[in-house]
Amino acid sequence: MPNQKIYFDHSATAPVDPEVFKAMAPFFSEIFGNASSIHGFGQAAQTAVDEAREAVAEFLGAKTNEVIFTSGATESDNLVILGLAKPGEQIITSKIEHPAILEACREMEKRGAEVTYLGVDAQGLVSLAELQKAIKAETRLVSIMYVNNEIGTIQPIAKIGEMIKELNQTRKEKIYFHTDAVQAANYCEMNVNKLGVDLMSLSAHKIYGPKGIGALYRRSGTPLKPIQFGGHQEAGLRPGTLNVPGIIGLGKAVELISQDKKNLGEIRKLRDYLIEEILKIIPKAQVNGDLKNRAPNNAHFSFYGVEGESLLLLLDQRGIAVSTGSACSSGSLEPSHVLMALGLNPLLAHGSLRITLGKFNTKKEIDRLIEVLPGIVEKLRKMSPLK
- Of residues 115, 128, 134, 136, the one with CA closest to residue 162: 128
Provide the CA 196 distance to its chain's centre, in angstroms.
18
Helix axes 244-260, 40-60, angle to 10 degrees: 30
**Do residues 319 and 372 make contact, with C-beta atoms less than 8 angstroms apart?**
no
Alpha-carbon dihedral sign for residues 288, 291, 294, 299: positive
As a whole number of angstroms, the distance between CA 160 and CA 189 comes to 14
Pick the catalytic residue: 291, 313, 328, 383? 328
Is 328 assigned a catalytic role? yes
- Distance from C-alpha of 168 to C-alpha of 200, rounded to nearest angstrom: 19
CA distance 326 to 354: 8
Active-site residue set: 328
